[in-house]
Amino acid sequence: MRIEVVTLFPALVEAGLAAGVLGRAVATGRLEVGLENPRHHADDPHRTVDDRPFGGGPGMVLKAEPLARAIAAARGRLPAGAPVIGLAAHGASFDQAAARRLAGLAGFGLVAGRYEGIDQRALEALIDEELSIGDYVLSGGELPALVVIDAVTRLLPGVLGDEASAAEDSFGDGLLDWPQYTRPEVWNGRPVPPVLLGGNHAAIRRWRLMQALGRTWQTRPDLLARRRLSSDERALLEEYCRAAGVEPPR
């Protein structure tokens, strides 16, 4: 997977690539990340990349031309036809389905904005789509770029130690993850649910599915509304709701 990031702050992206799952993916060559700084493509002595917004108002706007040159350089290192994606609070929601779609590509570009954002003409001419990582505003697109890179990289074959773990993570099948426990069996008077200690794998699977259904219903009912429940799943969720004293879905 080759990802190119166009950013005024490459060190921020590099820092996020240095450790953990992303660090290993880079070290093993499963992930290659290139960085392109629009400032290197500004042609005035001050390397100006921003200017005041037409129409007035606060802040500065990223100029189209340095960005266009930086994106062209980044595109040149991407596989043919790879999309270039702008990170923007006004973009479409980045979710696990989007991560899966991007993980199926040979590569893509990410453009991190700064200040008040990017000249709209550059977005229209150079960007294939725009993604938002959530309904809040960050100071720049570097953290969103790392969020996208991380979510996508976890899905690449061979990146996670346990191949099953990405599929079993939250959103893998439209549900949140079930609760996890590790040693000791009792911590501060709180025991691990006994079913997890019994070695009955069918019972453990059933308990985990019930917890995933219940947790999703309690904290993200919107996810359940988008997912068709089998009759077994419905029965498990009703059992969970009875035990937890919450209203089951109608």
Nearest to 22 by CA among 42, 46, 3, 41: 3
- Written as one string, the DSSP assignment of 234-248 is HHHHHHHHHHHT-PP
Could you say which of 26, 89, 156, 229 contacts ligand SAM (CB under 6 A)?
A: 89
Residue 54, both tokens: 């037409």
> Counting contacts by CB under 6 A, is residue 132 touching ligand SAM?
yes
CB of 164 to ligand SAM, least distance (A): 30
> Counting contacts by CB under 6 A, is residue 208 touching ligand SAM?
no
CB of 35 to ligand SAM, least distance (A): 15
Q: Which 96-115 positions form the footprint of ligand SAM (CB under 6 A)?
A: 112-114
Q: Residues 140-169: x/- map of binding to ligand SAM (CB under 6 A)?
A: xx--x-------------------------
Query: Alpha-carbon distance 58 to 47, whole Å?
Result: 21
Nearest to 94 by CA among 132, 128, 127: 132
CB-count exposure of residue 83 (10 Å: 0-12, 13-18, 19+): middle
Please say which residue, 84 or 160, places its beta carbon nearer to ligand SAM: 84
Q: Applying CB under 6 A, which residues contact ligand SAM?
A: 87-90, 112-114, 116-118, 132-134, 136-141, 144
